[in-house]
């Protein structure tokens, strides 16, 4: 049986490094002890078992160890992307009914009256650090939690409405860790430089898959791309996970010889690697394996392409990872033929438990597996179109919904549109993505100004809008372009015609 999440510290050599960074080194014995101490403290805070514990933290020992401690305490962990701002944080706190929010004082001070529910207790990270450092404090032993019990809620944007919480079990996370460690060939001597946000499933798995293998995690919050190359050399990183925009910046860096010497593999998800970028990666990082992957938060990771196949199949997303079953189906649920586009459906034990307190959207995405599935049960119907070739390799064709994928982030157009419509003078708004070499997709925001405005005020709307969006939305949601139209195009049903707007965006970028 798969163990609970908080058993990860038991997998490594007690004397081997589990976490390292500027703060020093934490071995597996210390990781187990700290997890126990923090878990006992959390369990003694007077909140009911299964309470949601939210964290809005920079990447360091507290953010890295909290998922384990919250799991051992019998609660549910809710990591919040550090790039989010108060409006998004307020939504997550309210939607999850968080009993606590653990954060740094500077971030807590940005929250305004009404952002934090009365039932949510605010905890400064220094209080947590004190508990972690108190070696005289007794700890909780490893839990005997049901592997199918809810242990985390990861918030991800949807194509309609605000971010939705994906419910993950101990088994989801631990099988995912085992799967990735297996196909990447991670070992106890691996050192993973964790540069991705820990609020993402891809970023969080940097920790769990490394610990499954008994290796060491090096959490890094970086300002510049050269900081990543420097840290890789300093700590002898063997593994680095990233998204295409990060690689675009990293290939332009002068990588120290010692960084290239230690680095064994880089892994990519959150967008496709282009042929030119693959060529640049091979030049910048000679001899380093490049592992291309595809996934979605609702089912963690779906496919991977072995490094030795990348040269001959640069456009492929590969085959199903261990413990996943991927089928491509027609609208009636039957399997497509080789070369025939269809919807990618993910089956098996990595499928999440649905969306938190959202039965309607859960029913839309989480549906019975196609008849051809060997796993059966509930599957994730991705909404993504893919095609399978005669060798069984898959190629991503397109995303059927309106989601924008920019800089590795899945962005809801509705979130941007709602923020725009809150600005005086904006009567209508429609956001979409257009292809961009560096970002994957750049955000284009179309708006129509209020007809009551005079001409001079009308022309000032875009500048006023940009200022408001900079205040209300994180950087990765900022539009690359804001285009002011007399009228937004509409389809036969009277709705805004996104297809026509997408064509305009492409034409304008040409």
Assign 77 to helix, strand or coil.
Answer: strand
The region of weakest confidence among 220-224, 407-411, 477-481 is 407-411
pLDDT digits (tens, 9 = 90+) for 3-14: 999 999 999 999
Q: In b/e form, how buried is each residue of 162-183, taking b as 16+ CB within 10 angstroms?
A: bbbbbbbbbbbbbbbbbbbbeb
DSSP states of 359-403: HHHHHHHEEEPPTT-SS-SEEEEEEEEEEE-TTS-EEEEEESS--
Inform me whether the pLDDT recorded for 491 exceeds 80. Answer: no
Inform me whether the pLDDT recorded for 27 exceeds 60. Answer: yes
CB 346 within 8 A of CB 375: no
Confidence tier at 188 by pLDDT (50, 70, 90): very high
Inform me whether the pLDDT recorded for 510 exceeds 70. Answer: no
Inform me whether the pLDDT recorded for 155 exceeds 80. Answer: yes
Report, as an integer, the average pLDDT of 294-314. 93
Angle between helices 125-133 and 61-72 (to 10 degrees): 70
E-assigned strands of 52-184?
52-56, 76-79, 100-103, 121-124, 150-156, 164-169
Domain boundaries, the chain: 404-509
Q: What is the pTM of this model?
A: 0.86
What's the pLDDT score for residue 84?
87
Angle between helices 413-421 and 455-472 (to 10 degrees): 130
pLDDT: is 409 or 469 the higher one? 469
Inform me whether the pLDDT recorded for 285 exceeds 80. Answer: yes
Q: Which residues contact 510 (CB under 8 A, 6 or more apart)?
A: none
Closest to 385 in 3D by CA, of 442, 336, 457:
336
Report, as an integer, the average pLDDT of 177-195. 98
pLDDT: is 448 or 215 the higher one? 215
What's the pLDDT score for residue 508?
66
Closest to 386 in 3D by CA, of 294, 276, 501:
294
As a whole number of angstroms, the distance between CA 491 and CA 496 comes to: 6
What CATH fold (topology level) applies to the domain 404-509? Answer: GMP Synthetase; Chain A, domain 3 (3.30.300)
Inform me whether the pLDDT recorded for 271 exceeds 80. Answer: no
What's the pLDDT score for residue 336?
96
- What is the tally of helices (H) and strands (E) in the chain? 15, 25
The region of weakest confidence among 175-189, 298-312, 442-456 is 442-456
Report, as an integer, the average pLDDT of 342-359. 97
- Which tokens sit at 172? 């989801």
CA distances from 108 to 120, 197, 268 (A): 12, 19, 33
- Which tokens sit at 371? 């008849």
pLDDT digits (tens, 9 = 90+) for 29-65: 999 999 999 999 999 999 999 999 999 999 999 999 9
CB 166 within 8 A of CB 156: yes
Report, as an integer, the average pLDDT of 228-244. 95
β-pair partners for 320: 303
Assign 414 to helix, strand or coil.
Answer: helix
Cα 306–Cα 311–Cα 315 angle in degrees, nearest 5:
80
Alpha-carbon dihedral 375, 376, 381, 384, rounded to 10 degrees: 40
Closest to 176 in 3D by CA, of 151, 195, 193, 156:
151
Read off the DSSP letter of residue 346.
Answer: E
As a whole number of angstroms, the distance between CA 217 and CA 8 comes to: 13
Inform me whether the pLDDT recorded for 453 exceeds 80. Answer: no
Report, as an integer, the average pLDDT of 158-172. 81
- Which tokens sit at 326? 């991927």
pLDDT digits (tens, 9 = 90+) for 372-412: 999 999 999 999 889 999 999 999 887 666 678 898 887 87
Confidence tier at 426 by pLDDT (50, 70, 90): confident
pLDDT: is 215 or 87 the higher one? 215
Give the chain's mean pLDDT.
92
Sign of torsion over alpha carbons 26, 28, 30, 32: positive
């Amino acid at each position: 049986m798969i163990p609970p999440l908080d058993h990860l510290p038991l997998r490594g050599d007690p004397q081997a490094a589990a976490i390292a960074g500027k703060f020093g080194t934490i071995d597996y014995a210390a990781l187990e002890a700290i997890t126990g101490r923090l878990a006992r403290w959390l369990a003694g805070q007077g909140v009911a078992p299964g309470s949601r514990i939210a964290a809005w933290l920079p990447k360091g020992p507290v953010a890295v160890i909290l998922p384990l401690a919250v799991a051992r305490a019998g609660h549910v962990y809710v990591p919040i992307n550090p790039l989010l701002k108060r409006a998004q944080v307020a939504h997550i706190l309210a939607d999850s009914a968080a009993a606590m929010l653990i954060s740094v004082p500077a971030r807590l001070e940005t929250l305004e009256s009404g952002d934090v529910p009365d039932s949510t207790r605010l905890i400064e990270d220094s209080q947590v650090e004190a508990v972690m450092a108190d070696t005289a404090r007794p700890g909780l032993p490893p839990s005997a939690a049901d592997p199918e019990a809810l242990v985390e809620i990861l918030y991800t944007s949807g194509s309609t409405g605000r971010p939705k919480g994906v419910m993950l079990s101990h088994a989801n996370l631990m099988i995912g860790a085992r799967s990735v460690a297996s196909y990447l060939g991670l070992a106890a001597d691996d050192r993973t430089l964790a540069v991705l946000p820990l609020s993402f499933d891809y970023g969080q798995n940097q920790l769990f898959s490394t610990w499954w293998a008994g290796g060491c995690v090096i959490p890094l919050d970086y300002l510049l791309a050269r900081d990543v190359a420097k840290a890789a050399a300093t700590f002898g990183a063997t593994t680095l996970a990233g998204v295409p925009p990060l690689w675009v910046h990293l290939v332009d860096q002068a990588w120290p010889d010692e960084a290239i010497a230690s680095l064994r593999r880089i892994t990519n998800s959150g967008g496709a690697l282009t042929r030119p970028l693959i060529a640049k990666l091979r030049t910048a990082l000679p001899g380093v394996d490049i592992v291309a992957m595809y996934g979605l938060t609702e089912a963690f990771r779906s496919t991977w392409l072995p490094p030795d196949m990348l040269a001959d199949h640069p456009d492929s997303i590969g085959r199903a990872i261990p413990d996943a079953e991927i089928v491509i189906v027609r609208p009636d649920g039957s399997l497509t033929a080789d070369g025939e586009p269809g919807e990618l459906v993910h089956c098996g034990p990595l499928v999440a438990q649905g969306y938190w307190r959202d039965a309607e959207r859960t029913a839309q995405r989480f549906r019975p597996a196609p008849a051809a599935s060997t796993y059966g049960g509930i599957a994730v119907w991705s909404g993504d179109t893919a095609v399978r070739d005669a060798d069984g390799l898959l190629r991503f064709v397109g995303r059927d919904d309106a989601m924008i994928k920019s800089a590795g982030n899945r962005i809801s157009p509705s979130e941007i549109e709602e923020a725009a419509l809150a600005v005086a003078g904006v009567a209508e708004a429609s956001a979409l993505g257009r292809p961009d070499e560096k970002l994957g997709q750049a955000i284009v925001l179309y708006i129509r100004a209020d007809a009551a405005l005079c001409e001079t005020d009308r022309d000032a709307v875009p500048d006023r809008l940009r200022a408001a969006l900079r205040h209300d939305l994180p950087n990765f949601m900022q539009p690359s372009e804001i285009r002011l139209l007399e009228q937004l195009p509409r389809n036969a049903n009277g709705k805004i015609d996104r297809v026509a707007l997408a064509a305009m965006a492409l034409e304008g970028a040409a």
